[in-house]
Chain A
């Protein structure tokens, strides 16, 4: 009798696990603290949550398996407090666990080597500010995925600025999407530079449809 119950219990357990696995295949979504989605729910509400596997698929974001060498490197770099892997192509300077970029010249800005006046502070909510700003003018149901890549300090005119390197991906209601890299001010959450914009092959793509007015009544005098 006991064994019969064991059989029934095992079967039910298996069925329950299988049911939930099928019903919600994204329950084990790509859980990493570096991804966050913001969605413009209405003209007055933007919600933020951890990016789902489905959204990453929609944005064609791949998650390649890492090599053993990379895993090893990852372990070694934990002490650097970098939130993503730091390639070893160049001898990066690190300060406060951040990569130093910009007008470095021959100076050493690494921890303990040089004083550096900072022009901003780190706001822990920078990503929320960024997500809201990127969606302010967008249509409802537009989503923006923010992938946190590297924290940085940019040297400019002898002063340092805390920045975050991110990938911004827009997901539109019609299934279209676009991505780019951005540097974001760690205090204001504002984008300061962008690069890596998507290159399309749409020949004779439709333009913006901006038509010139028949006449100029703006009062502007150009000379």
Chain B
């Protein structure tokens, strides 16, 4: 009886255990670990795994292999990790591990091995994770090893050798891994068709697949892993001087801009940095989407006319929008435009090997160091920019407005990036005190000559002084103008509105569905940083699709700009953000001719003389639009606040009821208050520049090409609004420096005024 009882008890316990245990994943029988003892693991040793050492195109030497090719034939055995999970074991700041690789969003943790082996067949998700891990670990190790070297390049002990942007906390002892407090998570098998991406906020990498060929994965291409990891490292490089907590700087604003282009070009260079090969993404994106990218003019994919000859480089801005896969079709795309900087950086790496007798590894390590220095300075939101500066406001105006400056008012462009990069190159290799170029120096002439081959010698000094308004405190090294042979600088007055007879100078888009789509796109991308007014209905019911600006609407406005010069303009930017063009009472400024070619409005029309520009107080930032006020004797331009008073409108009925009527009736939507055109060909508009040459058809506009304005439902029809826009472009000769002050760059404060810009007025009648 006792034994029967025991059997009953044991059976009960066993059954309960059995049933409960079915809820708990069993490592020994889970698919992840089962596969580790599968087909591939027999051929690998402990802590080893099977990987694709490069992408399949390179490994087969066959650019035409298709998706049915058995990639298992290309596997190589390599050391993976002695961890039981696919986790990067680099020592990280406060973190147990730096990064980990998972299959996809459904994976609760990193891949685990039961036997210490990582050998899998290519078709398995485990292989993708192992391959991603191997290459992510490779680029990570190289990057951080070089970062430690960067510290010794810039410091002697705790003392800067030159004016470096690298903070002391970059010391190898700090083990600072990134600018967040979480490890990087890479999903090797994301359900993202024709895409891979870096989610900067949640710090995850996602590698997708080729639509229609689900066995072809982006993570099978090591160059894509390096490129995406490059975006992660850029976030770190750009924010290396910023605290982990609080706002950070970004490379670009999603839609087309030059910071975004530079970010893509730099990420391409990360691939070269690891494997020394000047081509990116031959396999998945290249083979099936025709979207691979070269990084050298010697690449056979390039169109005729490009070579490594000094006068046949992939130069700016001529090759902005050039697609080597479809060379006759201009395309406004940050990835394609980024090729200018990736080609330059590869050419520089080669040049350093020749002129400084460096190995490719040493040369590319140095170039990566210069990228870190350059991004660290531009991204500094504390406004110091470099070490050893006790007074702030050397870059990005001030901590209060730094984000606005780096993202919009004075953003990273081909000009600003190359100028700072040149300074850092000069500091590192041009110093006779350091003699780091094979015992000598890499001269300024050499720096300038190569930049000029790429059309990138767009600055007139190296700007060491940066933002110190008094010349002489720190001298600026001038660029030798003889070296500017290919780089073209154009005066801003040659950027005009389309002068063609009967051509429109601006277009209004007020279609309800289109504007709604734009708002949702901008808001979900994080570009709209001010909510629309509560008086604007969520169905945009006032939008009437009549092509006019009406009360209560949200409208997109596109400018029809025209390049009236004989050269190509690159990086055109239109600003509708608040700026210092009103006095403290809100009256519109009439600027003297010494700082602006815009003498609007006359003093008799409400203008007040403003001789200086400041950017410290909220009153220094006036709304972009004024309102016309007519009475029996005169017509005046007045502030929206004064118009509100004149109308006796309660401030609570303004678009923003909290700011005292400052932009009561019409305002540029913050975040959508800047627009970009990648380039304008000579004597051409954007529509003609980007048109398909075979059909002559202009491309459609994107949200980055237009400005978004919100109009109050309380503005009376018949009212005329004047919005004073500011326009400039990257290869502008008089938008960035003062020819009367030894070509010193304008200060950050100057960018809050009219001086660096061409002023364009939009006089908008409000029509019901």
Contacts and interface: CB of A to CB of B under 8 A. Distances in A.
A73 interface: yes
Contacts of B227: 201
A220 B767 CA distance: 11
B470 to A, nearest CB: 21
A59 B11 CA distance: 44
Given A192-B529, A216-B547, 20 more contacts: A6-B12, A10-B16, A60-B187, A62-B185, A64-B100, A67-B95, A87-B181, A99-B246, A101-B243, A103-B398, A137-B520, A138-B523, A168-B201, A181-B526, A188-B658, A195-B403, A198-B197, A204-B323, A212-B560, A221-B762
B392 A105 contact: yes
A165 B703 CA distance: 27
B20 A17 contact: yes
Contact of A18 (B19, B191, B520): B19
A130 B685 CA distance: 41
Nearest to B504: A216
B335 A139 contact: no
A196 B521 contact: no
B309 interface: no
B702 A208 contact: yes
B671 A199 contact: no
Interface of A: 3-4, 6-7, 10-11, 13-15, 17-18, 21-22, 43, 57-62, 64-67, 69-70, 73, 85-90, 92, 99, 101-105, 133-134, 136-139, 142, 149-150, 152, 156-157, 165, 167-170, 172, 175, 178-183, 188, 190-205, 207-213, 215-223
Contact of B198 (A64, A69, A199): A199
Q: Which 5 A-B pairs have CB atoms at the shortest separation, nearest pair first? A: A180-B526, A216-B504, A67-B96, A222-B505, A196-B200
A203 B335 contact: yes
Given A87-B244, A204-B291, A220-B506, A69 B94 contact: yes
A53 to B, nearest CB: 9
A6 B574 CA distance: 79
A123 B496 CA distance: 48
Interface stretch (B427-435, B448-456, B531-539): B531-539
Nearest to B331: A204
Contacts of B702: 207-208, 210
A152 to B, nearest CB: 7
Nearest to A188: B658
A90 B507 contact: no
Contacts of A215: 504
Nearest to B528: A191
A220 B96 contact: no
30 contacts: A13-B16, A17-B20, A60-B105, A60-B185, A67-B96, A70-B95, A87-B93, A89-B169, A92-B245, A134-B523, A137-B516, A137-B520, A138-B523, A138-B524, A172-B524, A181-B526, A200-B195, A202-B195, A204-B333, A211-B700, A213-B504, A213-B508, A213-B509, A216-B505, A218-B507, A218-B508, A219-B764, A220-B762, A223-B497, A223-B761
Given A137-B516, A137-B520, A197 B703 contact: no
B19 A15 contact: yes
A199 B530 CA distance: 22
Given A59-B202, A170-B524, A223-B761, A18 B94 contact: no
Contact of B530 (A15, A191, A216): A191
B517 interface: yes
Interface range, B side? 35 or more
A138 B520 contact: yes
B549 A199 contact: no
B538 A182 contact: no
A168 to B, nearest CB: 7
Interface of B: 5, 8-9, 11-13, 15-16, 19-20, 22-23, 93-96, 100, 102, 105-106, 109, 169, 174, 176, 181-183, 185, 187, 190-191, 194-202, 204, 206, 218, 224, 227-228, 231, 235, 243-250, 252-254, 263, 285, 289, 291, 323, 331, 333, 335-336, 392, 398-400, 403, 497, 504-509, 514, 516-521, 523-532, 538-540, 546-549, 556-560, 616-618, 658, 671, 687, 698-703, 705-706, 760-765, 767
Contact of B701 (A70, A92, A204, A208): A208
Contact of A182 (B195, B526, B560): B526
Nearest to A136: B538
Contacts of B198: 198-199
Given A69-B94, A70-B95, A168-B526, A201 B245 contact: no
Contacts of B195: 200-202
B246 A101 contact: yes
A66 B532 CA distance: 40
